[in-house]
Amino acid sequence: MAADTYSLQALVLRKTKLGETDLIVTLLAKDGRQVRAVAKGARKPNSSFASRLEIFSEVDLLLVCGKSLDIVKEAKLLDAHIGVRGDMEHAAAAAPVVDLLTRLTQPDLQAPRMYDLATSALSHAEGADANGALSLCAAFMLKAFAFSGFRPSLDRCVMCGKPLAEGDSRIQVSFSPAEGGAVCRDCLMFSETIQVGSDVLSWAHWLMMSTFDDIGAKEVPRHISFEVLHLSQAWIREHVGSKLKSLEFLFTCGLF
């Protein structure tokens, strides 16, 4: 009896070697589920899969149901996002996008907005310069947190709701990933906090609430993007349980 087959539109998040010639691909399906499948022979020089299952690629797949992992039967490339893959700085800036998605998404949990968010971020990064791609990555991280149900409080105290001072780099604000965001002095207790300028939090709130079109049209200072990404790393460590290696690389690679 023939195995069941089905079609799947997906974004390639990760590739893992299997045996001598096969690959396990981790995918973000259009409905937001994470799917892992085997692409047999994908590492052979003459494989038709080789150029169609690169990280960052949007693909239309035909999959065969397997016992443990499904098997890629056919792959059609929809968008390679070559502007991201073909440049070292853009690839480094975009890598945390797919890295975070492998941590936030789950096999049996649909999150339809996550696919559109990710593909839109990659498309906008292609049309931006390296610094613009960096700010779009920072915005994606914050938006992905919000879509996943643990949005940080960036413009007011997470405890009492008191609005924070806006846009002043001289004012330091306590940020507590464990408590859920910024904490004013009156509410600060015993949680471990990060001291961050109120201007950074103002920018972070703007990045989280603005469209990618607006972010791409505005010049976000490079140091602000890095500060927001450092906050994101602390947030991930607290709520996901580990750091993103792609972010650690971004902080130390010297490309920006």
The per-residue pLDDT string of the chain (256 residues; one tens digit each, 9 = 90 and over) reads: 456 999 999 999 999 999 889 999 999 999 999 999 999 988 888 888 878 899 999 999 999 998 889 999 999 999 999 999 989 999 999 999 999 999 999 998 999 899 999 999 999 999 999 999 999 999 999 999 999 998 999 999 999 999 987 777 788 999 999 999 999 888 887 678 899 999 999 999 999 999 999 999 999 999 999 999 999 999 999 999 889 999 999 999 988 8
- For β-strands 34-39 and 70-79, DSSP reports them as parallel
If phi > 0 it is left, if psi is from -120 to 50 it is alpha, else beta; for residue 12 that is: beta
Whole-angstrom distance, CA of residue 252 vs CA of residue 244: 13
For the chain, report the end-to-end CA distance as a whole number of angstroms: 55
The answer to whether 168 and 162 are in contact (CB under 8 A) is: no
Whole-angstrom distance, CA of residue 202 vs CA of residue 197: 9
- Which residues, other chains included, contact 245 with Cβ-Cβ below 8 Å and sequence gap of 6+? 99
What pLDDT score was predicted for residue 221?
96
The answer to whether 205 and 220 are in contact (CB under 8 A) is: no
Which residue is associated with the tokens 């971020």? 121
What pLDDT score was predicted for residue 3?
66
What pLDDT score was predicted for residue 256?
81
The answer to whether 184 and 162 are in contact (CB under 8 A) is: yes
- Provide the percentage of residues in the chain whose pLDDT is more than 90: 79
Q: pLDDT tens for residues 75-88?
A: 999 999 999 998 99
Residue 247: name the closest of 56, 83, 94, 120 by CA: 94
Q: What's the DSSP call for residue 151? A: P
pTM of the predicted model as reported, rounded to 2 decimal places:
0.93
- Which residues, other chains included, contact 37 with Cβ-Cβ below 8 Å and sequence gap of 6+? 24, 25, 27, 61, 63, 69, 70, 71, 72
